[in-house]
Amino acid sequence: MTTPADRHLLAMHRSEAAVSVELQTEDMVLNIGPQHPSTHGVLRLVATVAGERVRSVQPVMGYMHRGYEKLAEVRTYAQITALVNRIDWVSGFANEIPFIVAAERLMGVEAPERAQHIRLILTEMFRISNHLIFLCSFPAELGAPTPLMYALRERERVLDLIEGVTGGRFHPNFNRIGGVKPAAGGGSTQRTRVQDLPKGFIEGTRRAMTAVRHVCDDLENLVLGNEIVQQRTIGIGVLPADKAVEYAMSGPNLRASGVPFDLRKVEDYLPYDRFDFDVVTMPNGDNYDRCRVRLEEIRQSARIIEQAVDSLPGGPLQTKVPRVIKVPKGECYVRAENPKGEMGYHIVSGGGRRPYRVKIRSASFCNLQVLPWLLEGALIPDVIAILGSLDFVLGDVDR
């Protein structure tokens, strides 16, 4: 099948070939970033370009390296959750989960059912928030600012719910070893009588999920149905399944290449096995499919949240843990399906109040490794499109 994009590319190839016959061209080094708005922070790409086409790309990182692995060694387990919130700041809460579960496993405690369900609901809300941000920022990078308004409006509803439960919008720091923050339902600002979810949370969630489904339909028409977006995405930045695995892509980027792998289905860090949801995959692995996967995942997350609020178990939010958290010697790795891919922490405890070593496996760092391969031979305008379609955050790359 020849898509319009294919024909477009073919025409480009022809005109380029014609030019290089007539003119002597030479390669040029083009610096993209570190301050370029499309680099989601401070990523620098050193691209060698021949005319409009990229010959090779060398990503340069470290402009935002904050040394979290070192900082984690001087903080107590309770303090580290505040730190890890800021790794991928678009999905703050989801970063806490694998860390706290790993620490709990080392200590041999397990959060009560109700706390686990609340964790799950909040994680999925952050997934919705993350994917909505992607679906509005990606078209903005392609030159279409309108979807921004639609997606951010509905994201605000989700953030309001998160704020109602945790007291924070981006960095809730809501998990405690053995459960969630006991004074939920007002956050730390109100010394509250309510010890649980705020009043009206469940109804509010149902309404918000309906709104999220609506905005998904809108975005599907507005973004994926847009002919210009299609021209910029279909058949561009194609990542076949074998390459995706070879470069250790994870999360939606992997599933967009047709690999049906979702850690929510194979790991048991949260009780996902109690809910029905589909692992969304797309066949082509191009920019367009990476968008479609995320759009569809919002719907699946809404589905999970609706089931979870319907079957929210009662009971306490915290199990009994010692006042001073000391973690026995040992090491443990827990990974979770974060909005951006596999996120995990390998905690080595020396028996003290602070971990001896914490290795942070962040999704964006690993997902970016494919860039030199993916961008080779791309057109310069497509570099921005391909980069945007990978959905990364520099805090998650540099840590």
Partner 1 sequence: MSEPEPPATPVPDPETPSAETPPSRAAHWAALVGSAEWADVFRTSKVRVPRERWVEAHRALQPHLPFFAWLSVIDWSNEVAVGDPLEGDPVEERCEVISRLSDVSAGEAVILSTDLPPDDLTIDSLAGVYTAADWHEREAADMFGITFVGHPNPVRIYLSEGFVGHPLRKSYPLLSREVKPWPGAVEVTPLPAAEGAPGEGKEGGA
User: What is d(CA 321, CA 208) in angstroms, rounded to the nearest whole number?
Assistant: 35
> Are the C-beta atoms of residues 44 and 370 closer than 8 Å to each other?
no
| Closest by CA position to 52, among listed 382, 399, 385, 392 | 382
Using CB under 8 A as the binding rule, whether residue 82 contacts partner 1 is answered as yes
By three-state DSSP, how is residue 119 classified?
Answer: helix
Region near partner 1 per CB under 8 A, out of 130-138, 148-156, 331-339, 383-391: 331-339
Given 247, 275, 277, 392, the residue binding partner 1 (CB under 8 A): 247
- Print the binding letters for residues 282-311 with partner 1: x by CB under 8 A, - otherwise: ------------------------------
- Between CA 264 and CA 120 the distance in angstroms is 11
The sign of the dihedral angle between the CA atoms of 388, 89, 395, 254 is negative
User: Residues 6 or more apart from 258 whose CB is under 8 A from it?
Assistant: 241, 281, 282, 283, 284, 285
30, 89, 357, 380: which one contacts partner 1 (CB under 8 A)? 357
Q: Is 348 in the site for partner 1 (CB under 8 A)?
A: yes
CA distance 45 to 66: 20
Dihedral sign from CA coordinates of 31, 35, 38, 43 = positive
Q: How far apart are CA 298 and CA 306, in angstroms?
A: 12
Report d(CA 117, CA 52) in Å as an integer.
51
Instruction: Give the residue with the Cβ less far from partner 1, 48 or 76.
Output: 76
> Applying CB under 8 A, does 69 fall inside the site for partner 1?
yes
DSSP for 292-342 reads HHHHHHHHHHHHHHHHHHHT---S-SB----SS----SEEEEEEEEETTEE
Nearest approach in angstroms of CB 361 to partner 1 is: 4
Q: Kindly indicate which of the ranges 130-138, 253-261, 294-302, 388-396 contains the residues binding partner 1, using the contact rule CB under 8 A.
A: 253-261
User: Which listed range, 44-52, 129-137, 151-159, 353-361, lies at the site for partner 1 (CB under 8 A)?
Assistant: 353-361
Q: Report the residue from 88, 297, 306, 342 that binds partner 1 according to the rule CB under 8 A.
A: 342
**In the complex with partner 1, which residue's Cβ is closer, 367 or 389?**
367
List CB contacts of 35: < 8 A, sequence separation 6 or more: 42
3-class SS of residue 254: helix
- Please report the beta strands in 96-217, taking only residues with DSSP state E, as ranges in sequence order: 175-176, 179-180
Site for partner 1 in 120-179 (CB under 8 A): none
Q: Is 350 helix (H, G, I), strand (E, B) or coil?
A: coil
Q: Which is nearer to partner 1, 8 or 86 (CB)?
A: 86
Among 9, 50, 78, 380, binds partner 1 (CB under 8 A): 78
| Residue numbers 23-62 binding partner 1 by CB under 8 A | 61-62
73 in contact with partner 1 (CB under 8 A): yes
Q: In angstroms, give the least distance from the CB of 1 to partner 1.
A: 28
Out of 84, 90, 133, 254, point to the residue binding partner 1 (CB under 8 A): 254
The distance of closest approach from Cβ of residue 266 to partner 1 in the complex, given in angstroms and rounded to an integer, is 3
Could you give the CA distance from residue 125 to residue 217 in angstroms, rounded to a whole number? 18
Stretch that binds partner 1, among 42-50, 190-198, 214-222, 351-359 (CB under 8 A): 351-359
Instruction: Give the nearer residue to partner 1 in terms of CB position, either 302 or 370.
Output: 370
110 binds partner 1 (CB under 8 A): no
Q: CB atoms < 10 A from the CB of 153, how many?
A: 13
Nearer to partner 1 by Cβ, of 127 and 354: the residue is 354
Residues that bind partner 1 (CB under 8 A): 61-62, 65, 67, 69-71, 73-74, 76, 78-79, 82, 105-106, 245-248, 250, 254, 259, 261, 263, 265-267, 323-325, 329-333, 335, 342, 344, 346, 348, 350-357, 359, 361, 365-366, 369, 398
